């Protein structure tokens, strides 16, 4: 399956983000815990220009906990501060505040030596579309004390969400674009629903997901759909179509509808907590 991506319209977003980056002390980058590599845009590393960095493995409720632990260690070894969150339920949000403070400890210490006291640490959320940036900011705002209005000077026109007197978060996220030179990265993004449907064949995508699930999570599909164990994604999709009553006018099985059921069940976490890649690179799609 071939994917293409035209990042032309991202140029403006990139420029806006570069301006916002000047206002902040720490970059909080959201990635999808099911694909912490494929949902991360490596270009942010150059744009970050030495700023403190935090990675949040978001949607951790949907990912395989064992794999998520491996990813935490992987990014920690690369020098990031890392934590897992579920922005939808709010789980883990408070820990983010501690991580932000930890990331800026040196800076706060420098400020203190210069006699600057209680200057809040400023953070900004970045990530590719659909990774959960707005959901995170909403959850953060709910737990925060105040929303600060426009302030004079460099922050003119910007809204900050104040967690306490120490931490502030810019209320607009920086949007990164998915980047994939490798088709496997594009495929993983399509599995989680981060690529427009027009760009792929739904049946083909579902068949590839089934092949992955059969290899890495054997027996799971059969158990969930209560279908017979038999080799082959075509057979399984047909069995799902029959079970779910996917019938077209004229009585033929609607295989695209069955494919959609499978993808929706996977994306919503109904099939269970599933990760699509490990830091070892030993999960093929
Ligand atoms: P974005 O700003 O980065 O583009 O992402 P956004 O917050 O819009 O979130 C995209 C989707 O991901 C939303 O689902 C949101 O609810 C879901 N989401 C965000 N964080 C989490 C999480 O930690 N766990 C889970 N399970 N889902 C999360 P949606 O289907 O577009 O909306 P809705 O039906 O949930 O309201």
Q: What is the pLDDT of residues 9-33, one digit of tens each?
A: 677 778 888 999 999 999 999 999 9
**Which residue shows structure tokens 């495929």?**
187
pLDDT average, residue stretch 73-99:
95
**Distance from C-alpha of 278 to C-alpha of 34, rounded to nearest angstrom:** 9
Q: Which atom of ligand 1 is nearest to the CA of 268?
A: 26
* pLDDT, position 154: 47
pLDDT average, residue stretch 133-142:
93
| HEC sequence for the chain | CCCCCCHHHHHHHHHHHHHHHCCCCEEEEEEECCCCCCCCCCCHHHHHCCCEEEEEEECCCCCCHHHHHHHHHHHHHCCCEEEECECCCCECHHHHHHHHHHHCHHHHHHHHHCCCCCCCEEEEEEECCCCCHHHHHHHHHHHCCEEECCCCHHHCCCCEEECCCCEEEECCCEECCCCCCCHHHHHHHHHCCCCCHHHCCHHHHHHHHHHHHHHHCCCHHHHHHCCCCCCCHHHHHHHHHHHCCCECCCCCECHHHHHHHHHHHHHCCCCCCCCCCCCCCCCCC
pLDDT average, residue stretch 160-182:
87
Report the chain's terminal Cα–Cα distance, integer Å: 12
Top pLDDT among 266 and 167 is at: 266
Whether the predicted pLDDT of 112 surpasses 50:
yes
Q: Which one of 3.40.50.300, 1.10.167.10, 3.30.950.10, 3.60.15.10 gives the CATH number of domain 8-171?
A: 3.40.50.300
Whether the predicted pLDDT of 50 surpasses 80:
yes
- Say if CB 33 and CB 133 are below 8 A apart: no
Residue among 31, 68, 88 to mutate when testing ligand 1 (max atoms within 8 A of CB)? 88
* pLDDT, position 156: 58
> Domains of the chain: which residue ranges?
8-171, 201-267
Whether the predicted pLDDT of 283 surpasses 90:
no
**Distance from C-alpha of 277 to C-alpha of 185, rounded to nearest angstrom:** 10
Whether the predicted pLDDT of 152 surpasses 50:
no
**Distance from C-alpha of 156 to C-alpha of 158, rounded to nearest angstrom:** 6
Whether the predicted pLDDT of 242 surpasses 60:
yes
* Ligand 1 within 6 A of CB of 62: yes
pLDDT average, residue stretch 150-172:
76
Whether the predicted pLDDT of 282 surpasses 90:
no
Whether the predicted pLDDT of 241 surpasses 70:
yes
* Ligand 1 within 6 A of CB of 83: no
pLDDT average, residue stretch 45-68:
95
* Ligand 1 within 6 A of CB of 129: yes
pLDDT average, residue stretch 154-183:
83
pLDDT average, residue stretch 207-228:
95
Q: Which of 52-61, 135-144, 245-254 has the lowest mean pLDDT?
A: 135-144
* Ligand 1 within 6 A of CB of 131: yes
What's domain 201-267's architecture?
Orthogonal Bundle (1.10)
Strand 52-58 versus strand 26-32 pairing type: parallel
- Say if CB 55 and CB 260 are below 8 A apart: no
pLDDT average, residue stretch 148-174:
76
- Sorting pLDDT into bands at 50, 70 and 90, what band is 251? very high
pLDDT average, residue stretch 108-113:
90
The per-residue pLDDT of the chain, averaged, comes to 90
* pLDDT, position 3: 55
């Amino acid at each position: 399956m071939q994917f293409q991506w035209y990042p032309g319209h991202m140029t403006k977003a990139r420029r806006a983000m570069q301006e916002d980056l000047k206002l902040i002390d720490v970059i909080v980058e959201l990635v999808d815990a099911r694909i912490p590599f494929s949902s991360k845009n490596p270009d942010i590393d150059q744009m970050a220009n030495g700023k403190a960095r935090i990675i949040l493995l978001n949607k951790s409720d949907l990912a395989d906990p064992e794999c998520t632990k491996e990813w935490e260690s992987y990014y920690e070894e690369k020098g990031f501060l890392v934590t897992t969150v579920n922005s939808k339920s709010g789980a883990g949000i408070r820990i983010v505040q501690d991580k932000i403070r930890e990331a800026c400890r040196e800076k706060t210490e420098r400020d203190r030596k210069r006699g600057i006291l209680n200057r809040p640490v400023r953070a900004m959320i970045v990530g590719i579309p659909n990774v959960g940036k707005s959901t995170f900011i909403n959850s953060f705002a709910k737990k925060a004390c105040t929303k600060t209005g426009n302030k004079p000077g460099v922050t003119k026109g910007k809204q900050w969400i104040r967690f306490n007197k120490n931490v502030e978060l810019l209320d607009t996220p920086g949007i990164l674009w998915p980047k994939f030179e490798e088709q496997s990265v594009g495929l993983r993004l399509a599995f989680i629903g981060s690529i427009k449907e027009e760009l792929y064949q739904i049946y083909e995508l579902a068949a590839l997901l089934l092949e992955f699930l059969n290899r890495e999570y054997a027996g799971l599909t059969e158990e969930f759909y209560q279908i017979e164990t038999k080799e082959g994604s075509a057979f399984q999709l047909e069995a799902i179509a029959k079970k779910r009553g996917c019938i077209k006018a004229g009585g033929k099985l609607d295989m695209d509808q069955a494919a959609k059921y499978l993808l929706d069940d996977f994306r919503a976490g109904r099939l269970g907590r599933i990760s699509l890649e490990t830091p070892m690179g030993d999960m093929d799609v």
